[in-house]
Homo-oligomer: A and B are copies of this chain.
Amino acid sequence: MDLVPLKLVTIVAESLLEKRLVEEVKRLGAKGYTITPARGEGSRGLRSVDWEGQNIRLETIVSEEVALRILQRLQEEYFPHYAVIAYVENVWVVRGEKYV
């Protein structure tokens, strides 16, 4: 079995940003992504299902280099004004060479 160690970047953000975030991560080198609907609460208060639109939870499996690029970009461009949280962790991926 070929398990490749890679980085899993998770971004939780207001759903309005979906189109832009997808473009960003693809532009910065991600080969794919998975989105699940979410809701949540943080420093900017409750982000409810109804009104302000819900959150999305975007995951992308990438190389360490791409992961850092994505997080860097988020920190500069999105954290100041938008409701966003982002983190990275270690995963081992089947046929991982597809994703770098």
Contact = CB atoms under 8 A, between A and B. Distances in A.
23 contacts: A1-B68, A1-B72, A1-B75, A2-B75, A8-B87, A31-B42, A31-B43, A32-B42, A32-B43, A34-B55, A35-B40, A36-B57, A61-B85, A74-B94, A75-B95, A85-B93, A85-B94, A86-B93, A86-B94, A87-B92, A89-B90, A89-B91, A89-B92
A85 to B, nearest CB: 7
Interface in A1-23: 1-3, 6, 8, 10, 12, 22
Interface string A61-100: 1000000100110110001000001111111111110110
**Secondary structure call for the A interface:** strand
